Amino acid sequence: MMSDNSLRLVWVYPDLLSTYGDQGNALVVERRARQRGLDVTRIDVRSDQPVPTSGDIYLIGGGEDRPQRLASERLRRDGGLSRAASNGAIIFSVCAGYQILGHEFINDLGEREPGLGLLDVISTRGEGDRCVGDVYGDIDQRLGLPPLTGFENHQGITHLGPTARPFARVQLGRGNGTGDGTEGAYNDTVFGTYMHGPVLARNPQIADLLLKLALDVNALPPTDDRWYEALRTERIAAATQPA
């Protein structure tokens, strides 16, 4: 799956969708790939540049409402990310980026904005307060990952269609905001979540899952994860035992 000898890691639209520290996800994937001896080419694609179709892993972050609309318009017009998806590339998206990967969302003008339709989800906007705070939950057991920890900060509500599976179920926090406890969505190669933190820094095993899918391997050499583990323990305790 990996093109030539270098893992091609594409960070989509940092000029529009990099407001909430989600570029940390790119830093974590790159670091963990290099720790396994992989060569990594990180490609940051600005929204006036074409999205390359030959990437192995694509990451998209959260952003504010107007940049989200602009990003969706430009990604639809460009078509590169959709072609990459049909080539089987791994795509991991957060918050505003997650909504863009769905069929539609509510834009800054209060109108329904089409997304890319790479995930079978539809997003609307909640009536109440923003969901802000630490989240704790269980990742879909088919993925074989430890509990999810993250930080949510959004007002979106995302409904899953029949071909999208919930990425996780929250024990604490709002997740998709639908009231059924679901958080995020995924299919075979495309993932979406509301979790910041950034989520891959809080959950390095998700970063490894993306690497395994992109490399088409079942296991990766171990890494020294003691600081990640210490942070996870602290944040899970903070979420489950509020002061």
Partner 1 sequence: MDGNTEPLSPRAKLAVTAGKAAAAVSRAAGRGSGSVIGGKVALRLDPDLLGRLAQHLDVILVSATNGKTTTTRLIAEALRAAGPVVSNALGANMPAGITSALAGGSDARFGVIEVDEKYLAGVARDTTPKAIALLNLSRDQLDRAGETRMLAERWREGLAGSKAVVIANADDPLVVWAASSSPTVVWVAAGQEWKDDAWSCPSCGGVLQWPNDEWFCADCGFRRPAPSWALSGDYVLDPHGSAWPIHLQLPGRANKANATTSAAVAATFGVPPQVALERMYGVQAVAGRYDVVSFLNREVRLLLAKNPAGWLETFSLIDPPPTPVILAVNARGADGTDTSWLWDVDYTRLAGHPIFVIGDRKLDLAVRLEVAGLQFQVCETVDEAVQYAPPGRIELIANYTAFQDVRRRVGN
Q: Interface residues with partner 1 (CB under 8 A)?
A: 14-16, 18-24, 27-28, 31, 46-48, 64-67, 70, 132-133, 151, 153, 196-198, 201, 227-228, 230-231, 234
Q: Compute the least distance from the CB of residue 128 to partner 1, in Å.
A: 15
Q: How far apart are CA 38 and CA 1, in angstroms?
A: 14
- Contacts of 8 by beta carbon, 8 Å cutoff, 6+ apart: 2, 41, 43, 52, 54, 55, 56, 57
SS3 content of the chain, % helix, strand, coil (to 5): 30, 30, 40
> Which two three-digit tokens encode residue 16?
């529009």
CB-count exposure of residue 144 (10 Å: 0-12, 13-18, 19+): exposed
User: CB-wise, 49 or 54, nearer to partner 1?
Assistant: 49
> Which two three-digit tokens encode residue 98?
């997650």
Q: Compute the least distance from the CB of residue 36 to partner 1, in Å.
A: 14
Q: How far apart are CA 133 and CA 147, in angstroms?
A: 17
User: CB-wise, 186 or 228, nearer to partner 1?
Assistant: 228
Q: Which residues pair with 169 in a beta bridge?
A: 138, 182
User: CB-wise, 47 or 123, nearer to partner 1?
Assistant: 47
Q: Compute the least distance from the CB of residue 41 to partner 1, in Å.
A: 18
Q: Compute the least distance from the CB of residue 182 to partner 1, in Å.
A: 22
User: CB-wise, 160 or 173, nearer to partner 1?
Assistant: 173
Q: Which residues pair with 40 in a beta bridge?
A: 7
User: CB-wise, 32 or 159, nearer to partner 1?
Assistant: 32
Q: Compute the least distance from the CB of residue 165 to partner 1, in Å.
A: 26
User: CB-wise, 22 or 120, nearer to partner 1?
Assistant: 22
Q: Compute the least distance from the CB of residue 132 to partner 1, in Å.
A: 5
